[in-house]
Amino acid sequence: MFGFYRVATAVPRLQVADVPFNIKEIIALIKEGAENKASVLLFPELCITGYTCGDLFHQSYLLDKAEDALAEIVKASKGYDTIIIIGLPVRFNCRIFSAAVVIQNGEIKGIVPKSTLPNYREFYEKRHFSSGWNISDTTVDLAGFSDVPFGTDLLFYVNRELCIGIEICEDLWSVIPPSCAQALGGATLIANPSASNELVGKAAYRRALVAQQSARCVSAYAYASSGCGESTTDTVYSGHCLVAENGALLLDSPRFQMESRIYFTDVDLGRIVGTRYCESSFKDNAEKSAPAFKKIKLNPVGDLTEIRRSLPRHPFVPQEKSEKEENCDEIISIQVHGLAKRLLHTRSRSAVIGVSGGLDSTLALLVAVKSMRLIGKSPSDVIALTMPGFGTTDRTYHNACQLVEALGATLREISIKEACLEHFRAIGHDKDNYNVVYENAQARERTQILMDVANQCDGLVVGTGDLSEIALGFCTYNADHISMYAVNSGVPKTLVRHLVTHIAYRSESPVREILDDIAQTPVSPELLPATADGQIQQKTEEILAPYEIMDFFLYHFIKYGAAPEKLLFLATMTFSDYPQKTLHAALQKFIRRFFSQQFKRSCMPDGPKVGSIALSPRADWRMPSDSSASCFPQ
């Protein structure tokens, strides 16, 4: 469903070398995984026998029992589309290998041997096993199946979204893990049946390693490790299971569970494929160094009817408080240093900015003041113009004026009303006709004033428009669309609010109170007259849609190339508090405006990129201004 696949990681209760006991637990977990529509079910390394059998691995009787058990497991998988990956010892050419066997619907599809064998301190795998590093283009007979593909050159292919590569435990810890080559060869999901013991601090390292490898490979990564049933002669095993997706940890299981456990995680492999399409470094590496793999065709897996996963409501905003604060500081630093460099380079004596009492101009003002301080100048060198128009309300006007004064910037007030009325007379427009001419004339008058004042005081006009407005074209061409440096151009509206709130939290009175009120003010261009009681009439989120929805669409559309149907599906999952018709209408507006407003982005001013998504035509987003949206379902 829309590129989502359910990955199950299982840790069976086991007894070392008691194969009959172990397979009962394993088969029960297979049934549970299949009943829960798992696409892939991953078990730990050597779990049919137990990882800690030691020299018992040299006993043919144990190896025979393991092979017989595999035959029972294969038989139990009959009728299930779930792809089962399970570890056991495999004999080949008078050698023993720790291997992962891939099973689906009553068949053994292939076997991947472990490449990197630890041989230090508590691990002596080379005493019992051989490395499969150079084994390729080979078959074996196993558990009643003949000519089963065997080697490290195997990938298991379902479709372009689900292609599985396998590495085993220590392989991940090696200098160049096999998963790197597997990803370049097309694997979107790396499965690791492992037997990692527990030491102080090792779990944290393991988490970081799995997350980092998923990011390096631009893949999903599933990891299942041996549990508490293993021998505790010298080490203890905790049954740690992890699933990561392109650097984000989706599953971090409880450890030290005594009973059998299975964990389900829905990974978005459609997102992985979309990311790879636009990651130039991945494409370059794939073209230069992707090795040849044999792709074993698997049967289709069952389609999911529901997704057991939540997505961030505000994907541009970090979820954890500590991370959010750190990111806010970093974003503001990027904005401040970007503007500071431009002020120094242009030898501008001042920064000129239009302040409205809204979120965007507030953030730009705060950045401008910090930039001036950074280059050793006074906040008074920021010339802040309030330009009351026909829709300006007392609330926004007073907030703008009071904030400028509290920050120590220079406040100038120039009303645009008379100039606009004269302009209406000149072009023959009825002043009571509140159409686009009425609105845009005000916006262009303000920009003319800003540019001319900048010439007066040898200054640079600081733009206030944000990434969301740029994406939707919700700006007046050659008005607020234009500036000399657009400090907010990489910051979406949902993040602007958090940045302003973040600065408010760290500010003293009266700045804190002013910023708090600005953050709670409805977003509006204030180009239409206020209501009879002086309230804002023109609310942007009633004209477009709530910005949290539009930013959600923007994130998944640009970053992962999500199709419109998937965008609506993800939004329905995430915004259950909105009616379906609201989400659908928002999607229609997003697609229509994103395509139709590209001409504004094609000539947008310079501005700093602060996150992974930006729409600069010079570096980030290249799109013809006359592209058609007709083939995109709306």
Catalytic residues, by residue number, are 45, 114, 169
Whole-number Å distance between alpha carbons of 524 and 347:
34
Q: Would you call the peptide bond into 529 cis, given omega within 30 degrees of 0 as the criterion?
A: no
Give the C-alpha distances (Å, rounded to integers) separating 140 from 1, 72, 111, 299: 35, 18, 9, 21
Report which of 370, 313, 336 is spatially closest to residue 556, judged by C-alpha positions: 313
SS3 624: coil
Largest CA distance in the chain: 100
Whole-number Å distance between alpha carbons of 598 and 604:
10
How is residue 129 written in tokens? 């096993």
Whole-number Å distance between alpha carbons of 440 and 438:
6
Q: Which residues of 313-339 are buried (b: 16+ CB within 10 A; e: fewer)?
A: bbbbbbeeeeeeeebbeebbebbbbbb
How is residue 502 written in tokens? 């973040």
Helices (H), 298-358: 321-346
SS3 523: coil
Whole-number Å distance between alpha carbons of 325 and 289:
40
Bridge partners, 318 (sequence order) = none
Residue 14, CA atoms < 13 Å, CB-side half-sphere:
33
Helices (H), 290-435: 321-346, 359-374, 394-407, 417-427
Q: Hey, how many other C-beta atoms are within 10 angstroms of the C-beta on 523?
A: 24
Sequence-ordered list of residues with C-beta below 8 angstroms from that of 578, at least 6 positions apart, any chain: 546, 549, 571
Report which of 296, 293, 292 is spatially closest to residue 108, judged by C-alpha positions: 296
